[in-house]
Amino acid sequence: MASGFFALLDDIATLMDDVAVMGKIAGKKTAGILGDDLAVNAEKASGFMSSREIPVLWAITKGSALNKLIILPLAFLLSAFIPSAITIILIIGGLYLAYEGAEKIFEYFFPHADKSEAPKLEKLSEEEVLAIEKDKIKSAVVTDFILSVEIVIIALGSVANEALLNQILVVSLIAMVATVGVYGLVALIVRMDEFGAKLISLNERENSISDAIGRFLVSALPKVIKSLSVIGTLALLLVSGGIFVHNIHFVHDLLVGLPGIIGEFLTGLVVGFLVLLLIKLGSKIWKKIAG
């Protein structure tokens, strides 16, 4: 009986060893998309009043965890029975990400007429602030869903030839890192100024090391948030472009002479503006029909 118990422990240890090795491989393959996920979600989780940042981020994190619970079993089932569906889902998600990135660029150069007159959050009622938060949370969770599909599929592809149990453990591990790790870093970013303020008030001495670090963090946050907006837009286009390049042979062959990152960015940009054009034309036609 004892020998059987120790044999079981040995099997578990061997399994965990294998999972750790495969997890490192899958982690390397998904590192790029995890970085893009961080940039996109940090940008989406910013722009709220200080007291609302953590509740909003927690709501997005819960939505992200729910996304993984939906995606993981579906990914395993589709990979086993309808592998071609994985590619179709990725491409549909890529179209959405490309559209979102192109829309951000379009809005930067051609902002809505009332954008400059938008009231500050402090001047809005509690109901209006909560409505804005709800919209941003919904947008962040939808984007997270598409990025999560990409992460899960890439991780699954790296262990496609392994036993089903190994696939489940490795991909679930990557999915957990994508949620806890990414949103943990996002929380640190959006609370930089609060941490900086606490360092400044740590002691009564002026020009101390804690004061210098605190002032740096407080002054750096606006620049970090602005840069994340740009990085997040680039990430959307790169991720979407990568989906098309790696899953559509025609696009891949068309960009053979270009460096990978440039080809993926241009692909995401072109596809994004094509989708944006189609949506705007469709919206105008629908308004005329409905009107």
**Does residue 264 register a pLDDT over 60?**
yes
Enumerate the domain spans of the chain.
Answer: 2-290
pLDDT of residue 272: 93
Cα–Cα distance measured from residue 16 to residue 160, given in angstroms and rounded to the nearest whole number:
18
DSSP of 187-229? HHHHTHHHHHHHHHTT-S-TT-HHHHHHHHHHHHHHHHHHHHH
pLDDT of residue 184: 79
Amino acid type, 230: V
The token pair at 272 is 């994004």
pLDDT of residue 28: 47
pLDDT, one tens digit per residue, over 50-104 is 667 778 888 888 888 898 888 888 888 887 788 777 778 778 878 888 898 899 8
Torsion of CA 258, 261, 267, 270, to 10 degrees: -110
pTM of the model: 0.66
Q: Which percentage of the chain shows pLDDT scores above 90?
A: 7
pLDDT, one tens digit per residue, over 166-208 is 777 878 887 887 777 777 777 777 777 777 877 777 777 777 7
- Whole-number mean pLDDT of the chain? 74
pLDDT of residue 158: 66
pLDDT of residue 275: 94
Task: Produce one character per residue of 11-38: b if its CB has 16 or more CB atoms within 10 Å, e if not.
Answer: eeeeeeebbeebbeebbebbeebbebbb
**Does residue 18 register a pLDDT over 60?**
no
